């Protein structure tokens, strides 16, 4: 046994130093790729979950649970925005909160009978100011499976300078395209928008830098879009840049 023990040797100090150096080199090479993958995964995870939220609330309209619904987006929802997700801390200023809300058929009928603005004014119809406008609103503490609220940090929208009231947008749906409308950042001159762009906040950006035609005006390898129709159909796209530090590229479905 003594002879066998003499043959067992540990690592020398030189060998340990060589191993540590090799591990450091491999880590230094691999970390940038891993960091970029993590940033991209962060944005993709957000758009997939938002897509699921929109599809979920529209499913409730088709089932008759609600007659009218809203998807409310709060960007830059940190201390400056003053908006808090129920049961959670504020997201940072470079983050978003997305909330689905529902209106029952009886409430919708009362609004139609009492107020012509509901029919004629889409931005008022997709209301984002009255706290008791929606029957079920998670941001007011309502806890139901039909409506949800989710938040994401380190995510920007295509809304420049989005903070406080300027960082709010909403899109509203009824059954069979009826009452489709938008509000604030998700409508233009009474016409609802059909896109929301999301990207990583890492770097010196304050928004996703996308023009009115949906084309990036600045290089940002982590750029996604969520598109909806008035019928509630949702699709996801990712912008693939062909050249680094250039806006050349195209959108591809995910």
* pLDDT tens by residue, 158-205: 887 655 567 899 999 998 888 999 999 999 888 899 999 999 886 677
Decide if pLDDT at 4 tops 90: no
pLDDT value, residue 82: 37
Lowest mean pLDDT among 41-55, 109-123, 228-242: 109-123
> How do the domains of the chain map onto residue ranges?
42-253
Cα distance between residue 218 and residue 227, in whole Å: 20
DSSP 23: H
- pLDDT tops 80 at residue 113: yes
Could you tell me which of 227, 247, 231, 230 has the C-alpha nearest to residue 239?
A: 247
Residue 27: predicted pLDDT: 61
* Closest alpha carbon to 149 in 237, 88, 223, 69: 88
Q: Two tokens at 140?
A: 């007011």
Q: In sequence order, what are the beta bridge partners of 157?
A: 198
Give me the pLDDT at residue 81, please.
38
- Greater model confidence, 85 or 230: 230
Residue 229 has pLDDT above 90, yes or no: yes
Q: How confident is the model at residue 11 (pLDDT cuts 50, 70, 90)?
A: low
CB 198 within 8 A of CB 210: no
The H or E element containing residue 226 is: strand 223-228
Residue 79 has pLDDT above 60, yes or no: no
Half-sphere exposure of 156 (CA within 13 A, CB side): 21
With residue 198 as reference, give the H or E element that holds it: strand 195-200
Would the pLDDT of 96 be above 70? yes
What pairs with residue 216 in β-bridges? 210
- The pTM of the full predicted model, rounded to 2 decimals, is 0.79
d(C-alpha 166, C-alpha 93), whole Å: 13
Q: Look up residue 159 and give its two tokens.
A: 């809304």
Question: Is 80 exceeded by the pLDDT of residue 30?
Answer: no
Alpha helix stretches (DSSP H) within 87-167: 105-114, 117-120, 122-125
227: left (phi over 0), alpha (psi -120 to 50) or beta: beta
| Rounded Cα–Cα distance for residues 232 and 180 (Å) | 9
Q: How sure is the predictor about 246, in pLDDT bands with cuts at 50, 70 and 90?
A: confident
Q: Are 175 and 61 in contact (CB under 8 A)?
A: yes
């Amino acid at each position: 046994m003594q002879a066998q023990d003499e043959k067992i040797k540990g690592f020398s100090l030189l060998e340990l130093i060589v191993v540590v150096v090799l591990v450091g080199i491999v880590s230094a090479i691999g970390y940038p790729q891993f960091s970029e993958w993590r940033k991209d995964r962060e944005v993709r995870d957000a758009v997939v979950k938002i897509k699921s939220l929109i599809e979920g609330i529209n499913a409730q309209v088709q089932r008759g649970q609600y007659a009218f619904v809203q998807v409310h987006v709060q960007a830059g929802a940190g201390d400056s925005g003053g908006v808090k997700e129920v049961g959670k801390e504020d997201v940072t200023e470079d983050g978003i909160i997305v909330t689905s809300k529902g209106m029952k058929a009886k409430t919708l009928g009362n609004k139609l009978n009492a107020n012509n603005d509901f029919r004629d004014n889409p931005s008022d119809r997709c209301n984002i100011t009255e706290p008791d406008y929606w029957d079920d609103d998670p941001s007011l503490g309502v806890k139901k499976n039909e409506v949800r609220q989710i938040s994401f940090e380190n995510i920007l929208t295509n809304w420049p300078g989005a903070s406080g009231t300027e960082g709010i947008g909403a899109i509203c749906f009824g059954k069979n395209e009826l009452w489709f409308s938008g509000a604030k950042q998700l409508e233009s001159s009474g016409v609802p928008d059909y896109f929301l762009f999301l990207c990583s906040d890492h770097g010196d950006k304050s928004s996703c830098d996308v023009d009115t035609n949906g084309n990036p005006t600045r290089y940002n390898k982590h750029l996604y879009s969520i598109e909806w129709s008035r019928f509630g159909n949702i699709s996801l796209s990712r912008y693939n840049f062909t050249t680094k530090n250039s806006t050349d590229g195209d959108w591809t479905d995910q």
